[in-house]
Amino acid sequence: MTNASTLVRAARKSRQLTQEQLAARALLDQGSVSRSERGRDASFETIDRLLGGAGYRLYSAPTRRDDAATIAAEIRRQLTAGDKDRALRALVQLNDNLVAEHGLVRGILGLAEPESTRDRVWDAALAALVAWRLGEEGLPLPPWVGLPGRFLDGQRTLEVDPADPLPPISEVPDEFAKRGVFAWRDTFESV
């Protein structure tokens, strides 16, 4: 479940707005945007106005599972802490969340553009996972999964375990291979 601060920041950045620009559009002061993005002003009215200022509407979905934007923030936290194992666990959790939902709710979990994890491989992996799981149900893909920053120039792994060999292409989900992220398909199998 996306928290309000992640939602407002993702909406603003997806429209390439500064905090000042969003504040002007929402008829609020820049401090309100800043407080909302830090989780200090999460009133429904403020969040609704800020999302409206970025051209979005707030909807409720029948799920309590974390979406791609929330998981990306967790991956960024774990990578910053140097813990790629926990970053991978977060990515696998997103996979489980997507697989557990169907139809519109699955699509909603991938809809909001996540902020960068500050690692191109992980950014591409997030896009690959969302494209893979939404594609399984023939759902439309959100535009962010096709952005250039979501593709790598060469083949890379997530580098969680240095002893883990590069998987053969036959063992990599198509959406991952297309983006240059070589991750084993069985990494995302439920146990």
Task: Return the structure tokens found at 22.
Answer: 């969003």
- Looking at residue 180, what is its pLDDT? 97
Do residues 36 and 46 lie in contact, with contact meaning Cβ atoms separated by under 8 Å? yes
List, for residues 151-175, the tens digit of each pLDDT value: 999 999 999 988 888 899 999 999 9
Q: What is the pLDDT of residue 83?
A: 97
8 Å CB contact between 38 and 103: no
**Any idea what the Cα angle at residue 78 is, between residues 146 and 188, rounded to 5°?**
55
What is the phi/psi pair of residue 156, to 5°? -140, 155
Task: Please give the pLDDT value at position 191.
Answer: 53
Domain ranges for the chain, please list them.
Answer: 4-53, 68-188
What is the mean pLDDT for each group of 10 consecutive residues in the chain (191 residues)? 75 87 92 88 83 80 88 96 97 97 93 92 98 96 95 95 90 97 92 53
- The closest of 191, 190, 148, 184 to 169, measured between CA atoms, is 184
Neighbours of 164 (CB within 10 A): 14
Predicted local distance difference test score (pLDDT) of residue 66:
92
Q: What is the CATH number of domain 4-53?
A: 1.10.260.40
Residue that has been written with the tokens 């979501």 in this structure: 150
Contact at 8 Å (CB) between 129 and 109? no
- Separation between Cα atoms, residue 121 and residue 118, nearest integer Å: 9
Given this model, what pLDDT does residue 1 score?
A: 43
DSSP string, 76-124: HHHHHTT-HHHHHHHHHHHHHHHHH--HHHHHHHHHSPPPP-S-HHHHH
Q: What is the CA radius of gyration of the chain?
A: 17
